[in-house]
Structure 1
Amino acid sequence: MSSSPTRLQRAFARHGIALEQHGAVYQVRRGHSEARILLPHDLPLEAKAVSQLLDFAGVGWPDRPQPVRCACATPDFHPGSLAPVGSIVATDADVVIPAAIGTDIYCGMRLITTGLRQDALAAHEPRWIRHLTRRLLVGETDVPVPSQAFRALFAQGPRACLDELAAEGVWAAADRARLLREVAGCVGLDGLVADPAYAPEHLVGTRERVRAADLGTVGSGNHFVEFQIVEAIHDRNIAHAAGLRLGEVAVMIHSGSRGVGFHVGQRWMDQARSAWQQGHKHPPSGLYALRGAAAQQCLAAMGTAARYAWLNRVVIAEWVREALESCVGADASRLVVDVPHNFVAAEQGLHLHRKGTTPAHAGDWALLPGSMGDASYLVAGLGNPDWLWSCSHGAGRALRRQVVRRQVRQDGASSPTWRCITLREERRLQEDPSAYKPIGPVLHSQEQAGLLRAAVQLRPWLTFKA
């Protein structure tokens, strides 16, 4: 580096942030807070996101100012509401920062194969599009769940929940043996701690059947259900194990814990704020931490929302399977992987707060979606401790929704190579591919830094947005 400050260093210095650049890695520091950011040269470093990351790294209390052990960010890094998306912060094992995760707890991706080539599905396209539009967008759902099944889910886990489901509604045609096998393909699911005491009362009360209005729903924002074509195979062994073959169709599902996540997240963010020591100035960042017993209770509450997120993605996958069977006459689908990217995990003797980042331990599979107009990837984690055993959860936003909406309206619609099925034109504008970073640099920078290895490349065909 030059001995004189660069333009970027001078710009960040005006925000009180010291910055050093070493290749694709930025070291940032403000006061006692410091962090590391992996970002390709051709992607901009946003001052707001950096400031939020340093706020995240500086969380503490007046009598214990430094429970954070490490803070870093992946190339999908961009500003969030309080904590930046694409960040990982490791705290002491008795600390949880609820607002770092927010209310979309255990949001994640699920990828299933269809066992069908594109031409086989295209021949029946109008039928299955109508079918899934009713289920995913109109909300014509039928998901009866006994209260006992919800109690089993939160007290014992996914397998106990599946054992309690009656053969009605969406579960009537479900392959129970397949669903039980697929639990093992959900990254981190078996390690969750949960408790029915933290669930909304209407789910675990005395009613014989519960029809939760949000169960089996995609949600708004960047959530989606996308039909994708296997476009390239970079690791034959992983592709074979995943059941992904060139030219075949897979379906990627991106959704989270819906109302249960809001119930849990809001409650514990409020509790962390109310626990702040009286007589001391509140942190301007709005990030508060819990410690000791309160932190462990918060972790169990988050685990409760996380198990609901798993069930939500299971139901969405069953809607897809229902459409394949009723409209195409085939249902040879199987789970590739289900992986979360917005949660707190007890790992390595720490609490790892992953805000829009994905576990990438050695051998783990992860999913990196691009946009409705860019490729997505199945990747293998390499377990890099310098980046807290994590990788990005996708390309990351490049433009705020208000900006991209205005820009697309001004520029006018071109002939898109992508297709979006939605009942809300606003969603198509907000989620235009121009709103996202290109997936190529985001992926390749992580390969070069030793976070992951690309295995299978998937091209978007058709995306459902609620």
Structure 2
Amino acid sequence: MSSHLIRLQRAFARAKIDLRFDNGVYRVRDEAAEATILLPASLALEERAVQQLLAFASVKTPTGDAAVCAACATPDFHPGAIAPVGSIVATDADVVIPAAIGTDINCGMRLYSTGLSLAQLGPRQEALVARLKAVLLENERNVPLPTRAFKALFDAGPLAFIDAIEPQGLWAGVDRDRLADEVSRCIGLDSLTADSHHAPDAFVGTREVYRDPCLGTPGSGNHFVELQVVDEVMDRHAAYAAGLKSGDVVVMIHSGSRDLGFHVGVRWMDRARDAWPTGVRHPESKLYALAGPLATEYLQAMGVAARYAWANRVVLGEMVRAELQRVFGADDARLVVDVPHNVVLTEQGRNIHRKGATPAHDGNLALIPGSMGDHSYVALGRGHADWLWSCSHGAGRRMRRQQARAIVGAFHGGDWHCVTLREERRIEEAPEAYKPIGPVIDAQREAGLIEPVARLRPWVTFKA
């Protein structure tokens, strides 16, 4: 046993947590729960994140029964506001924990192949960056939608939403048949249920058209739109099927449900607390489960925000397509995959809560970004049941944003290209604030969670 592990065990013992490490897997246990964490020894295991994970693993229903069947974490594991990022929690199909996914519901990744190489795009880089900055960051976008389209999205689903779009603004140049075809490449989207009565009035009220100020925006924090280059193909057949070719430029979008997700998430975390039975002691962790009809209703409310998050990524993608057409006279961009990582999906007869973790079922594509200065990966899931059919959603932070700002001088002079209107975003999201992506990918490949398909290197990153 290494001296590092001994010190780690002693530190966790002081917090009354039993910790074991074997072959890249930590097994942690306290008096109430246990969990497993896939993390190479070279990456730090943070006590606060472990405490958060064990707190979720020990959540009980209002009747006092255990709510959680299993809890685990992927190598991007680090503390979150409530739930640790990189965690997966399974409950019975009639139980949900709203705080497990928080307020950025169905935050996820969307990847397009542009059909253009870096050699083709490079000479027009300045013009393309200027146009993308205008639409992505400077509010030069025109995305009118009839409220009936939002209602169709929430009540009937993505295909009904596409049918209800009217050819105005951005939508005048959108290929709706292509959009409809791409719905099948969105992981988990078809399993969501929703009901428009959970949406804010602005989306489904009496006005004919609603210009939602958040629709088509990436959001702050670690969200981004990034132009990347296919740097290496690792699985030739899978890459060919996905339309990925070495030297080509791709577009990765990371965004979620914005204000609508915040509305739903806060409302239902409050409702879960308020539904706690009178006279029953509230949990010290302040984590509440919903069971039965309330759980079903939460999933419908969550579905409203989740479908909106999909639509938000669609709009971001269509704006990029429009600018590629404007600058290069061609729009051959093809959706590779859209994957969620903050959502509850019913799988294998359970509700799988993923907080900063991505579905990785056997044969399905997953997206695992690094940082603005590190590679991202396209991978095939291998459907590992021990890890709840999941993989990481990125490299994971190793430094809080406050820490990054405190050592701002160390981050000057990087060769990464970040386009932003806020200098603090460039510092908070600097590559040094994130774990290296290599060990994160290697650990998951060796453990049988994924098989890498292609490696992507960042070219230009847009951050709000």
- Report the TM range for the smaller structure's normalisation: over 0.9
Deviations 1:363-417 (A, max 9, x none): 11000000000000000000000000000001000100000121233x2512x22
Match of 1:434 in 2: 432
Q: Does the residue aligned with 1:124 lie in a helix, a strand or coil?
A: helix
**Distance across 1 between alignment mates of 2:290 and 2:80:** 21
Contact 1:58–1:65 under 8 Å retained in 2? no
Contact 2:62–2:289 under 8 Å retained in 1? no
**Distance across 2 between alignment mates of 1:59 and 1:106:** 22
TM normalised by structure 1 equals 0.98
Contact 2:61–2:291 under 8 Å retained in 1? no
**Distance across 2 between alignment mates of 1:244 and 1:16:** 49
**Distance across 1 between alignment mates of 2:253 and 2:434:** 18
Deviation at 1:191, TM superposition (A): 1.0
**Distance across 2 between alignment mates of 1:284 and 1:319:** 46
Partner letter of residue 373 of structure 1? G
Alignment match of 1:425 (pick from 423, 428, 432): 423
Contact 1:221–1:427 under 8 Å retained in 2? yes
Distance 1:45 1:412, change over 3 A: closer
**Distance across 1 between alignment mates of 2:281 and 2:433:** 37
Deviations 1:252-310 (A, max 9, x none): 00000111101110110010011122233322322111111000100111011110000
Match of 2:446 in 1: 448
Contact 1:97–1:290 under 8 Å retained in 2? yes
- More deviation, 98-107/129-138: 129-138
Contact 2:114–2:250 under 8 Å retained in 1? yes
Match of 2:458 in 1: 460
**Distance across 1 between alignment mates of 2:411 and 2:459:** 22
Contact 1:12–1:18 under 8 Å retained in 2? yes
**Distance across 1 between alignment mates of 2:68 and 2:61:** 11
Deviations 1:119-173 (A, max 9, x none): 2212222222121111111112211111111111111110111001111111011
Q: Unpaired segments of 5 or more residues in structure 2? A: none
Match of 2:292 in 1: 292
TM normalised by structure 2 equals 0.98
Match of 2:85 in 1: 85
Partner letter of residue 357 of structure 1? A
Match of 1:103 in 2: 103
Deviation at 1:23, TM superposition (A): 1.6
Q: Does the residue aligned with 2:137 lie in a helix, a strand or coil?
A: helix
Match of 1:177 in 2: 177
Match of 2:113 in 1: 113
Contact 1:68–1:91 under 8 Å retained in 2? yes
- More deviation, 284-293/375-384: 284-293
Match of 1:126 in 2: 126
Q: Structure 1 vs Structure 2: percent identity of aligned residues?
A: 59
Match of 1:64 in 2: 64
Partner letter of residue 413 of structure 1? H
**Distance across 1 between alignment mates of 2:375 and 2:264:** 34
Structure 1 segments (4+ residues) deviating >3 Å:
none
**Distance across 1 between alignment mates of 2:149 and 2:16:** 52
Deviations 1:199-250 (A, max 9, x none): 1111011211111010000000000000000000001111111111110100
Contact 2:411–2:430 under 8 Å retained in 1? no
Match of 1:348 in 2: 348
Q: Does the residue aligned with 2:114 lie in a helix, a strand or coil?
A: strand
- More deviation, 137-146/218-227: 137-146
Q: Unpaired segments of 5 or more residues in structure 1? A: none
Partner letter of residue 63 of structure 1? T
Deviation at 1:445, TM superposition (A): 0.3
2:47 equivalent to 1:47? yes
Contact 2:76–2:86 under 8 Å retained in 1? yes
2:234 equivalent to 1:247? no
Match of 1:313 in 2: 313
**Distance across 2 between alignment mates of 1:353 and 1:75:** 17
Aligned Cα RMSD in Å? 1.4
Match of 2:205 in 1: 205
- Aligned length in residues: 464
Deviation at 1:63, TM superposition (A): 3.0
Match of 1:267 in 2: 267
**Distance across 2 between alignment mates of 1:21 and 1:342:** 28
Partner letter of residue 430 of structure 2? D
Deviations 1:310-351 (A, max 9, x none): 000000001100110001211111000000000001111111
Q: Does the residue aligned with 2:407 lie in a helix, a strand or coil?
A: helix
Match of 2:380 in 1: 380
